[in-house]
Structures are given as structure tokens and as C-alpha cells.
């Protein structure tokens, strides 16, 4: 089986597990809020939940009271993400792939990135949707300064292993509704 086929199979299984967890309503951002509280004022970026992703909005709202928060903007295939400043209640518009993005605002360079994912391992490996946006973005950010990558997911998205490529960026910390996994 090719690496692409292995990733597709892992993605399908993980998306089914995530959908089940989402339907059960297990997605709490309480642990994420506690983690981010330790980094008050540090520029960070999260994401606007879509489909069955666990929603970081409550934690991002708390963080925005203490420092800059951004949301990702896809500027094109094969390019890293950029992050537009976000605040609770700001005007949002549909972005690429249906994720909401701030309608306007300054660009920020986060030092902390809350990363959505499809599956993860306890070793910090991450499987996304397959576009490579977060891998390119983390590689770009980490080339200029230390950048903390926090995977945020339902505990049900944990798997024992994932098919990996050399360009896949590892997470530094994983937060679920069940707790924090330090790596």
C-alpha cells in the first residue's frame, strides 16, 4: 500500500472516530484554556472550528483578553498559512474550504499555534486533511523562532501510529477534552 493510500485509510478511520466524539458532545476547551493561560500576552493563532473539529473558541476568547490572537487564512495551494488578527465578535467571512476568517485586520506572526487535526499519536505525530498547510506553516515559523505547536483534538482521535513523511511537523503538546499530553 502506498504512503498516500495509508494516509487516506488512516484519515477515514480518524474522521469517523472524530465524528462519533463530536456527536457525543465531548468537546470541551477547558484544558486548552488552562494551557493558554500560562502564555498570557504571547501572540497565538487558533482556528475556527468546522465540520466535526473540536472548538477552541472559548479558549481563544479568553486568550484574546490578554494578547493578540489570529485565525488562519489560506492564500493558495502549496503556500503556508497567514494569520489575521481576530477578536470575539469581529466580522467574519467564509474563507477557503469553508472555514470562517476575519473580514479584515492586521497580520500577526504567532509564537503559539493551536492546530486542528484529524488524528494524533502520543509521540506528537499529527495527521491533517492532506493539504500540508500546517506543515509548511510550522516549518516557516520554526525557521525564525521557537514556535509551540499545540494539537487540539478529541481524545478519540488518538491512534497508535501514523504514516509519516519527512515534511510532517510534530506537535509539542496535545490537548483533548480529557487532559493534556506532554511530549
As a whole number, mean pLDDT of residues 165-174 equals 95
Residue with cell 490578554: 66
**pLDDT of the residue at 26:** 73
Per-residue pLDDT band at 1 (split at 50, 70, 90): confident
Is there a domain that residue 181 lies in? no
Is there a domain that residue 141 lies in? yes
Domain count, the chain: 1
Residue 66 has phi, psi (to 5 degrees) of: -125, -10
Is there a domain that residue 171 lies in? no
Cα–Cα distance, 130 to 150 (Å, whole number): 18
Is there a domain that residue 96 lies in? yes
Per-residue pLDDT band at 182 (split at 50, 70, 90): very high
Which CATH number characterizes residue 43's domain?
3.40.50.10420
Is there a domain that residue 149 lies in? yes
pLDDT tens track for 79-98: 999 999 999 999 999 988 78
Is there a domain that residue 30 lies in? yes
As a whole number, mean pLDDT of residues 145-165 equals 95
Is the pLDDT at 120 greater than 90? The verdict is yes
Is there a domain that residue 173 lies in? no
Is there a domain that residue 175 lies in? no
pLDDT tens track for 6-51: 999 999 999 999 999 999 887 789 999 999 999 999 999 999 999 8
Is the pLDDT at 147 greater than 80? The verdict is yes
Structural domain boundaries, residue 147: 3-165
Sequence-ordered list of residues with C-beta below 8 angstroms from that of 56, at least 6 positions apart, any chain? 29, 32, 46, 47, 49, 114, 152
Amino acid at each position: 500500500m502506498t504512503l498516500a493510500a495509508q494516509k487516506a485509510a488512516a484519515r477515514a478511520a480518524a474522521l469517523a472516530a472524530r465524528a462519533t466524539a463530536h456527536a457525543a458532545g465531548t468537546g470541551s476547551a477547558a484544558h486548552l484554556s488552562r494551557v493558554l493561560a500560562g502564555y498570557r500576552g504571547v501572540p497565538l493563532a487558533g482556528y475556527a472550528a468546522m465540520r466535526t473539529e473540536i472548538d477552541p473558541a472559548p479558549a481563544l476568547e479568553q486568550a484574546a483578553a490578554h494578547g493578540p490572537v489570529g485565525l488562519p487564512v489560506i492564500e493558495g495551494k502549496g503556500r503556508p498559512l497567514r494569520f489575521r488578527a481576530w477578536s470575539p465578535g469581529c466580522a467574519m467571512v467564509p474563507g477557503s474550504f469553508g472555514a470562517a476568517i476575519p473580514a479584515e485586520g492586521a497580520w500577526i506572526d504567532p509564537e503559539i499555534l493551536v492546530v486542528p487535526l484529524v488524528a494524533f499519536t502520543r509521540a506528537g505525530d499529527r495527521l491533517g486533511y492532506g493539504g500540508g498547510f500546517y506543515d509548511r506553516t510550522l516549518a516557516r515559523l520554526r525557521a525564525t523562532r521557537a514556535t509551540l505547536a499545540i494539537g487540539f483534538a478529541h481524545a478519540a482521535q488518538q491512534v497508535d501510529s501514523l504514516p509519516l513523511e519527512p515534511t510532517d511537523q510534530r506537535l509539542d503538546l496535545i490537548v483533548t477534552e480529557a487532559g493534556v499530553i506532554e511530549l
